[in-house]
Amino acid sequence: MPTEATTPNEATLCARAPMPAESSSRPLVPSIDLSVVFCPADLDHVDALSDGKAAGFIYARDGHPNAAQLALKMARLEGAEAGVICASGMGAIASVFLTLLSQGDHVLLAKGTYGKTTALVTRQLPRWGINHDFFDASDAASLGQGLKPKTRLVFVETVSNPLLRVADIDTLAKLSREAGIPLAVDNTFAPLICRPIEHGATLVIHSATKMIGGHSDLTLGVLVGPGELIEPTKVLASTLGQTGNPFESWLALRGLATLSVRMERASRNALELARRFEKHGKVDRTFYPGLESHPEFAIASKLLKGGFGAMVTIDLGTRERAARLIRGLKGIPFAPSLGDVQTTLSHPATTSHRGQDAQQLAAQGMSEGMIRISVGLEEIEDLWGEFLVGLEN
């Protein structure tokens, strides 16, 4: 017997999505929108959505509410026009390179850039006929020397890893602008404390996996900049399947809520630890942009506001001594990432710079005795007490 349209059979009832719950009030915090697809009202609506004449979404890989909320917030925080959320920091970085560069083009990459970014530029991009040279981001003159007629992008990090060298963004931006080349800045180590666009940068990238997420429970990347560059990057990121998902975008929004207090506390702890390490007899060298002994202390003091960041590197001289400290720090985990609420340790020689011998490390100013500390929100005296014990090991 045919059923009336108003009383569908159970199978039909089960299969069909419910109407959104009616509410004349709005939720205080964002909902997680997991829908992969959004339903246009009719064909004209598809046209309007596709042509950007109506606001909204069609297919989640191209855009969804949680990514849009996160992109908008990040763009505002960085003083940018627009943003796009990618599946990881590397997704955002790869999308920038592959959008701005074509066969025969040349990119200038700062020495000491994150290992996977360096691998992308030195091992992958040459397969597409894209060439590169390195320059020293703390020495602006070396940028001028590296420029070629086909240079189409300059890429630097605000603060490098693990030496924590600081880029002279103002001067690099001026030189790039004069040459008509966009300057992309990976600002992963310095969210909120540095706003590269105010210093003349064109594009800003974050691995939101780190400080922005803040809890080591999401992998996501952020890119912000002028709309005319973000739009084609969005298309490329979607084409390569590099856009971020709703749940992690939502988690990152939640992380952002406390970013300012986390950065403030972590930076304060880091400065205090760095000062104490510098005076400790068992630490050969301490690297921290907030120490007067740091080679870019003057640049860092102008570039960074409200703190010098959460990262501190110490050099204990040998791998054996680094290993002993890692083993001796019972409450501070060896976890080769960064930006968590708790303090974590990394050993660059066996992780980010794995595969390089002592000589190759030394050529970059590094050693097997280096430990990079991502300082968290613990009580400073608890942290120091544990390091004191660990250093006696």
Strands 203-207 and 221-225 turn out to be: antiparallel
Q: Which secondary structure element, helix H or strand E, spans residue 36, and what is its range?
A: none
Taking CB under 6 A as the criterion, the residue among 162, 221, 244, 369 binding ligand PLP is 221
The answer to whether 288 is a known catalytic residue is no
224 DSSP β-pair partners: 83, 204
- Closest CB to ligand PLP among 248 and 315? 248
Q: Are residues 156 and 202 in contact, defined by beta-carbon separation less than 8 angstroms?
A: no
- How near is the Cβ of 91 to ligand PLP at its closest, in Å? 7
Q: Spot the catalytic one: 111, 152, 165, 210.
A: 210
Residue type present at position 326: I
Taking CB under 6 A as the criterion, the residue among 70, 77, 80, 90 binding ligand PLP is 90
Q: Spot the catalytic one: 33, 105, 168, 186.
A: 186
- Closest CB to ligand PLP among 348 and 390? 348
Taking CB under 6 A as the criterion, the residue among 111, 210, 262, 265 binding ligand PLP is 210
The answer to whether 210 is a known catalytic residue is yes
Q: Spot the catalytic one: 33, 105, 114, 265.
A: 114
C-alpha angle with apex 137: 182 to 309, nearest 5 degrees?
A: 100
Whats the size of the chain, residue-wise?
Answer: 393
Q: Distance between CA atoms of 372 and 351, rounded to whole angstroms?
A: 11
The answer to whether 152 is a known catalytic residue is no
Sole window of 203-211, 240-248, 374-382, 385-393 interacting with ligand PLP (rule: CB under 6 A): 203-211
- How near is the Cβ of 374 to ligand PLP at its closest, in Å? 10
Q: Which token pair is 71?
A: 């992109």
Sole window of 46-54, 74-82, 83-91, 275-283 interacting with ligand PLP (rule: CB under 6 A): 83-91
Q: Are residues 332 and 273 in contact, defined by beta-carbon separation less than 8 angstroms?
A: no
- Closest CB to ligand PLP among 147 and 184? 184
- Closest CB to ligand PLP among 190 and 323? 190
Q: Which among 205, 159, 147, 203 is positioned nearest to 303, based on CA atoms?
A: 159
C-alpha angle with apex 75: 47 to 48, nearest 5 degrees?
A: 5
The answer to whether 114 is a known catalytic residue is yes
Q: How far apart are the first and last CA of the chain?
A: 83
309 interacts with ligand PLP by CB under 6 A? no
Beta strands in the chain (DSSP E): 82-86, 106-110, 131-135, 151-157, 183-186, 203-207, 221-225, 285-287, 311-315, 344-346, 370-374
- Closest CB to ligand PLP among 74 and 147? 74
Q: Which residue in the block uniquely carries the two structure tokens 């939502």?
A: 250
Sole window of 45-53, 190-198, 205-213, 282-290 interacting with ligand PLP (rule: CB under 6 A): 205-213
Q: Are residues 248 and 70 in contact, defined by beta-carbon separation less than 8 angstroms?
A: no
Residue type present at position 117: T
Q: Are residues 284 and 315 in contact, defined by beta-carbon separation less than 8 angstroms?
A: yes
The contact mask relative to ligand PLP for 256-295 (x = CB under 6 A, - = no) is ----------------------------------------
- Closest CB to ligand PLP among 117 and 323? 117
Q: Which token pair is 160?
A: 């490098």
- How near is the Cβ of 229 to ligand PLP at its closest, in Å? 19
Q: Which token pair is 8?
A: 């569908």
209 interacts with ligand PLP by CB under 6 A? yes
Beta strands in 89-243 (DSSP E): 106-110, 131-135, 151-157, 183-186, 203-207, 221-225
Taking CB under 6 A as the criterion, the residue among 114, 277, 287, 288 binding ligand PLP is 114
Sole window of 191-199, 206-214, 246-254, 308-316 interacting with ligand PLP (rule: CB under 6 A): 206-214
Name the closest residue to ligand PLP (Cβ). Answer: 89
The contact mask relative to ligand PLP for 143-182 (x = CB under 6 A, - = no) is --------------x---x---------------------
- Closest CB to ligand PLP among 88 and 151? 88
Q: Site for ligand PLP (CB under 6 A): how many residues?
A: 14
Q: Which among 253, 245, 317 is positioned nearest to 59, based on CA atoms?
A: 245
Q: Which residues bind ligand PLP (CB under 6 A)?
A: 88-90, 114, 117, 157, 161, 186, 188, 207, 209-210, 219, 221
